[in-house]
Structure 1
Amino acid sequence: MNRVDVRYREDELVMMLKANNRSAFEFLYDHYSAALYGVVLRIVREEECAADVLQDSFLKIWRNIGSYSAEKGTLFTWMLNIARNTAIDKLRVEAKIERNVVRLDLPGGIAHEVADGSNYALFEIDVKTWVGRLAPDRRMPIELVYLHGYTHEEAAKVLSIPLGTLKSRVRKGLQELRSVFSTPEIQLKIA
């Protein structure tokens, strides 16, 4: 019988997966990898990175299948959460490596002359470092929306929280950042 012709009920598939049945894992990959890849690609936005994350996700699924419980949700939902979390972890690692420095010309401080004859000080602010200091419930929405270009709706789906909750966390995080950048030396207007 061809692998494509094989069908399993979810409970049978889970039982076979927990018994480390190779054909069950092949079936799982054949039937779920495209859907998981699509979700991962939407998060990491690079095909090569998405392929790596998908591979890591299936390794985690294989290693942790024993922890799957049908009472908590479907197998696909469980796998989707693993893939999504693996993709978000990948973004976190990249965010730590890549620094996003904003250069601001502000009055005062170490002066340099600009075209109109005014003196301005040049300040460098490592935005990702300051965002990284926020509480995780505020940091992740801000990273997704402002550093990775997600819409509020997309970020709410990725984080599995209601849209209103996401917007509230973004607003509170921005207020916290605004207070940091509102010192007399640094006046920064955050959208």
Structure 2
Amino acid sequence: MQTQPQNLARRKFVKVLTAAGLSTALAHSLVGQALAQSQNVSDLDVLNLALTAEYLATDAYTRALTVSFPGEIRDYLAEALKHEEAHVKALTDTIRGPFNATPVARPQFTYGDLQFNAANRLKVLETLVALETAFTGAYLGAIPLIQNKAVLSAAASIAMNEEAHLAILRDAVLTLGGRVEGPQTPVGRAVAVAITPQQATQAVQGFIRK
């Protein structure tokens, strides 16, 4: 039987997926498949999952930069893309170096019916908000499972960076006259919600072109 925090995490994760453009039915289906407890997840598994998420982040920010945004928002998007590219490099170097393994391949991504153009500026930012919410939750969910202290430190550092992105994106949505979940302020929550690696995997797979 699920505990109350698990139910809360499930509801919030469904909101993330639906905000990113998935139907409510599909979002519930994906989360339902991801409720197994996180067991036998290695540090290398966590690194490759994080790398796939960072591939998605770099793709989303690259596409967002094709949209005509006001100067300050565009400047943020460009800087955020550099951050995500740095995350990709750090994760790739770690997998190839200390772990002596092959990094997961970069997939092709799809965003459903979302068109990255000026008419959809708010929808583009809302999708980035949903993604950054999921990224932060994924890193927080992975932290208790990580054995290597260096990887643990890196995961915590990246989680903080993604949470900062989330606050700036919320502010950008408000600047363009949109609304965000919770208080209508850049920082909308006192405590971030962690998600399991299984949930994070399902979220990322929802954007991978089949």
Higher percent of residues as strand:
1
Relative contact order, CA 8 A, sep 6+: which one is greater? 2
* Alignment TM-score, normalising by the size of structure 1: 0.26
TM-score (norm 2): 0.25
Q: Which of the pair has more CA radius of gyration?
A: 1
